[in-house]
Structure 1
Amino acid sequence: MGQRCRETLRVKPTKTAIKEASRKREAILFEIAMGTFDYGQHFPTSKNAIRFGKNKGALVTIEEQLKKWVRKAEKRCQHSTIRDYNSSIYYHLIPNFGHLTLDQFSTAHVYEWLDTINISNKRINNVLGPLRQALKDAYYDGLIDQNPMDRFRYLSPETREPQPFTPDEIDKILVQLDGQCRNLIQFAFWSGLRTSELIALRWQDVDLNSERVHIRTAIVRQREKSTKTVSGLRTIELQPKASEALVSQLTLNPVSERVFHDPTTGKPWLGDHIIRKRIWIPALETAGVTYRNPYQTRHTFASMLLSSGMNPMFVAQQMGHKDWGMIRKVYGRWIPK
């Protein structure tokens, strides 16, 4: 036996409307008898359409599926991750694909979109990530027979060669700085921390006696979170120059929870963009050093350790990588033969 359902036709009960309703009922009964009835075709806005419709993908748009997916993602992802997802969804995916229903969408639409944009392959992969996952959920929910994004391969990201600073360049940069600004940049060069980890560093995680620092948190978009990866939770051994920077910093900022402060405000740094604009760019320009972004301090740390003969596994652990595969791939030319 089938299930009895009631649907309302939102029209005025005129004689003509009642006659049309009667005809619709007869057509539905005939289709049921023939086994061709599609609930969604007759009542596409009904809450029962998804439940009983044959072509469920025709009843849900890409926009609706993306919004549903990101609401679920909010329960398990960091705030900064959700912000990136929303950027992709509302600036790229919905404007270009949101009007399509799930059954209309195909990878051809993605290739057409690629012809209209000028962003890196890495950014393209990141933008398409929410779409790929939302359609995966749609497949698991039985809305579509297959995920069309399974046919679209991730684009190969452009390989960016590390551009570490030489010892002479490091000296030229540091001589332009003093106080807390010098301590911050010196520690960055000799610790290999990401900027988000630097500005989140707490004195409670610093052990100067054993010359170790425990990396537990990061600050991304002014919010504290755990480190980028599980392997990012690590303990690093302080190099002499890093230890020197911390000892100096302790005399300037001994009581605050955060190690490094913005000397202009007297408060912890809010983000890497302020450091780049207020400290990094002016120092490099005054020193006459070719510009590289602050992340190159991390590359510099890795290349210095490897060039000095340090075990690649040790360097990987200090950098927060789960194994030394990334070290071999990115810094292979600095590993002594």
Structure 2
Amino acid sequence: MASIRARADSGKLFFDFRFQGVRCREQTLLDDSPANRRRLEKVLQRIELEIHQGVFDYSAFFPGSKLAATFAVAGSEAPRETGLGQPTPQVDGPAVISAPPPSAPVPASTTRPTIGAFTETWQLENQVTWRRSYQRTVSDIVTKHLLPRFGARDVGSLLREELLQLRSELAKVKGRKKETLSPRRINAIMNVMSLILAEASDRYKFTSPYYNIKPLRIPKSDVEPFTLAEVQRILDTVREDFRDYYTVRFFTGMRTGEVDGLKWKYVDFERQLILVRETIVLGVVEEDAKTIESVRDIHMSQVVYDALKRQLARSGRLKGFVFCSSTGHALDHNNITKRIWYPLLRHLGLKKRRPYQTRHTAATLWLAAGENPEWIARQMGHTSTEMLFKVYSRYVPNLTRKDGSAFERLLSERFASSAQNVVVEGAHHHV
């Protein structure tokens, strides 16, 4: 099985794989480290894919290797024997590279790389600007949906109808919950394809086939905030060790990754602020928030302040995450949702809703209380107040009864006053 290994004498990493029945070991100058292993594993995945597709060019990856020359002479046939009739020895290839090639160089027969090779280059060039969670998303899309279908193709050979067919077939693919992929997921996959083709077309001077392909319409997501009475029932009933956790969620509007990734160093009791500086995604702490606006300071209400003070007595000694396990590890939100959140809603007879609805609840309660919309937007990490009025305003009338009745009262008072004046003036004229 192909692998990335380290030499016992120098600690340098090398490729170990089989090609045409021959064991190939190609050395690099990279030290053994998790980051370097990840880099080489990506290259190895590309090698295995091309071998499987029958398009692997050994000299493209390892141009200085003696094995590359051997395979070039042998052509498509496996170099089973040397010219003396002896088996080809399984030796380390002499090629030494200072860094893993981001992709296979362009074969001599063409002036453009394959989609798979260019995609590897594109990822390596752009990942420095991506959050780690998005790096994983792109890698997943490329590996599962793009390379198996187009990996061996010339990067400039795709037709628009092939992209439309890809989108059509994605709509039939089963997702994690045995349902077909959502329009949002399909759009994400197609967006990665469009970015790859846009960059390739700019570099290799061809017209990208990705034109006039509109994204699928995404159904409006359900915003189902809890009423204040429901919030009270939840907090009165939930397990004591999670009461403060959900109190903070309900009354700060923090996202799941933000509250789960909150550390004590970002809790300022003196100024009564929660500093959102990090988030946690799939168990990995991201040192930057979701967007620039997500980096914000949230004002603690007295209820939140008291909840965090109580939590400080539980986990403050660990000096890490605010909400964590007894050993100080971050919460697994999927586990908490299944074990705590959904059973609690069932017990209370409340409609099943994602924990993210706690964020929507905070927004609607702030609006209902008459807080300044600009202040609410800052607390939520929104760029403007547009989201508030577009998404949440329809819930406010039911909470505050400000549903046109205030305007009705204004008109009634004004016109009632005018009517009384008319009556009085008429009486004076009559006298």
Aligned equivalents of 1:178 and 1:307: distance in 2? 28
Matched, 1:85 2:107: no
Corresponding position of 2:285? 224
**Deviation string for 1:79-107 (max 9, x for gaps)?**
21110001111111122333432333123
* Identity over aligned pairs, percent: 27
Corresponding position of 1:192? 253
8 A contact 1:212–1:238 mirrored in 2 = yes
Q: Which runs of 5+ in 1 are unaligned?
A: 1-7, 13-43, 51-55
TM-score (norm 2): 0.62
8 A contact 1:197–1:217 mirrored in 2 = yes
8 A contact 2:323–2:331 mirrored in 1 = no
Corresponding position of 2:163? 110
**Deviation string for 1:300-333 (max 9, x for gaps)?**
0001111111121111100001111222221131
Cα deviation, residue 259, structure 1: 4.4
TM-score (norm 1): 0.78
Matched, 1:257 2:309: no
Aligned equivalents of 1:268 and 1:167: distance in 2? 31
Cα deviation, residue 270, structure 1: 4.2
Distance of aligned partners of 1:139 and 1:227 in 2 relative to their CA distance in 1, 3 Å threshold: same
8 A contact 2:293–2:382 mirrored in 1 = yes
Matches within 5 A, 1:1-337: 45-46=107-108, 49-50=110-111, 56=112, 60-116=113-169, 117=172, 118-141=180-203, 143-225=204-286, 226-263=288-325, 265-334=326-395
**Deviation string for 1:53-102 (max 9, x for gaps)?**
xxx4xxx3322222221122223222211100011111111223334323
Distance of aligned partners of 1:10 and 1:66 in 2 relative to their CA distance in 1, 3 Å threshold: closer
Cα deviation, residue 334, structure 1: 3.7
Cα deviation, residue 232, structure 1: 0.5
Aligned equivalents of 2:353 and 2:339: distance in 1? 15
**Deviation string for 1:13-71 (max 9, x for gaps)?**
xxxxxxxxxxxxxxxxxxxxxxxxxxxxxxx831x842xxxxx4xxx332222222112
Q: How many residues are aligned here?
A: 288
Larger radius of gyration: 2
Aligned equivalents of 1:312 and 1:106: distance in 2? 48
Aligned equivalents of 1:270 and 1:67: distance in 2? 34
**Deviation string for 1:181-210 (max 9, x for gaps)?**
111111100110011110111222212232
8 A contact 2:276–2:297 mirrored in 1 = yes
Report the 3-state secondary structure (helix = DSSP H, G, I; strand = E; otherwise coil) of the residue aligned with 1:316. helix
8 A contact 1:302–1:331 mirrored in 2 = yes
Aligned equivalents of 1:74 and 1:92: distance in 2? 19
8 A contact 2:345–2:351 mirrored in 1 = yes
Over aligned residues, Cα RMSD in angstroms? 2.3
Q: Aligned AA for 1:91?
A: K
Report the 3-state secondary structure (helix = DSSP H, G, I; strand = E; otherwise coil) of the residue aligned with 1:157. coil
The 10-residue stretch of structure 1 (125-134 or 90-99) with the greater mean CA deviation from structure 2: 90-99
Report the 3-state secondary structure (helix = DSSP H, G, I; strand = E; otherwise coil) of the residue aligned with 2:298. strand
Cα deviation, residue 250, structure 1: 1.6
Aligned equivalents of 1:49 and 1:103: distance in 2? 11
Aligned equivalents of 1:271 and 1:150: distance in 2? 41
Report the 3-state secondary structure (helix = DSSP H, G, I; strand = E; otherwise coil) of the residue aligned with 1:66. helix
